[in-house]
C-alpha cells in the first residue's frame, strides 16, 4: 500500500539487495520541490489503479501549466502501471503561501478527462483553497473527507 515512505521505497528496494550498511548506488534527493516531470507521486484516493502495487511508483510525465511546475490544483499526466492517466495535485512538499498547509508527500488524485475522480474517497486531508476551483473539481471536493 502506498505509505508516506514512498520516497524511500525505491531506495528501500535497492537496500534489500545491497549491503546492510545502507549504501546506495544513486542519491535520493528529498528536496522540497513542486511537482514537475519525473516526480514520483503518491495517489491518495481509493481507486484500484492507484492502490494496486506495481514495481514502479507512479511518475508525472507532463504538467498542464504554462511553466512545467505543478502546484495544488494543477492537472498532471501520470504514468501508472504502464498506462497514462490524468491526475489532480492536492498537496506537495514545497512550502507555498504562508497560511496554506504543506504536506509531507506529493499527493495526487486520479481523474478522468472530464474532471471526474476515479476513486470514491480521499482519506488524506486536502487544502481548503482547492474549493476555489469549485466548478471544475467540485466532484473531487465532494469525495474529500477532511480539509486542512
Partner 1 sequence: MAACTKRLDRFIISLRLLRNLQLQNERFLSTSPCLRVAGNDSESPKFVPPSKPVIVDKTQTVASLRKFLSPEFIPPRQRTDPLKFSIERKDMIRRRKVLNIPEFYVGSILAVIMADPNASGKSNSFIGICIQRGGKGLGATFVLRNIINNQGVEICYELYNPRIQKIEVLKLEKRLDDNLMYLRDALPEYSTVDPEMKPVPFSPTGEVPVNKIKVRMRPKPWSKRWERPKFNIQGIRFDLSLTPEQMEHAQKWAQPWLEYDMLKEYDTSKLEEQIFKEVQQEMSK
CB of 8 to partner 1, least distance (A): 8
Q: Specify the residue, 2 or 79, whose C-beta has the smaller distance to partner 1.
A: 2
CB of 17 to partner 1, least distance (A): 16
- Residues engaged in binding partner 1 (CB under 8 A): 3-5, 8, 11, 22, 28, 30, 32, 44, 91, 95, 98-105, 107, 123-125, 128-132, 145-148
DSSP for 106-132, please give it: -EEEEE-TTS-BSSS-B-S-B-GGGGG
Q: Specify the residue, 79 or 141, whose C-beta has the smaller distance to partner 1.
A: 141
Contact criterion met (CB below 8 Å) for 65 and 102: no
CB of 124 to partner 1, least distance (A): 5
CB of 129 to partner 1, least distance (A): 6
| Phi and psi torsions of 83, nearest 5° | -130, 160
Contact criterion met (CB below 8 Å) for 43 and 58: yes
Q: CA separation (Å) from 61 to 13, 18, 70, 86, 143? A: 23, 29, 12, 10, 25
Q: Specify the residue, 115 or 125, whose C-beta has the smaller distance to partner 1.
A: 125
Amino acid at each position: 500500500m502506498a505509505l508516506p515512505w514512498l520516497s524511500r521505497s525505491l531506495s528501500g528496494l535497492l537496500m534489500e539487495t545491497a549491503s546492510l550498511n545502507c549504501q546506495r548506488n544513486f542519491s535520493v534527493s528529498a528536496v522540497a520541490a513542486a511537482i514537475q516531470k519525473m516526480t514520483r507521486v503518491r495517489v491518495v484516493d481509493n481507486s484500484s489503479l492507484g492502490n494496486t502495487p506495481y514495481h514502479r511508483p507512479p511518475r508525472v510525465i507532463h504538467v498542464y501549466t504554462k511553466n512545467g511546475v505543478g502546484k495544488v490544483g494543477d492537472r498532471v499526466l501520470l504514468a501508472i502501471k504502464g498506462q497514462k492517466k490524468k491526475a489532480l495535485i492536492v498537496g506537495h512538499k514545497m512550502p507555498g503561501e504562508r497560511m496554506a498547509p504543506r504536506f509531507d508527500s506529493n499527493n495526487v488524485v486520479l481523474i478522468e478527462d472530464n474532471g471526474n475522480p476515479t476513486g470514491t474517497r480521499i482519506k488524506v486531508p486536502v487544502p481548503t483553497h482547492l474549493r476555489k476551483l469549485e466548478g471544475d473539481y467540485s466532484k473531487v471536493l465532494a469525495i474529500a473527507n477532511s480539509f486542512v
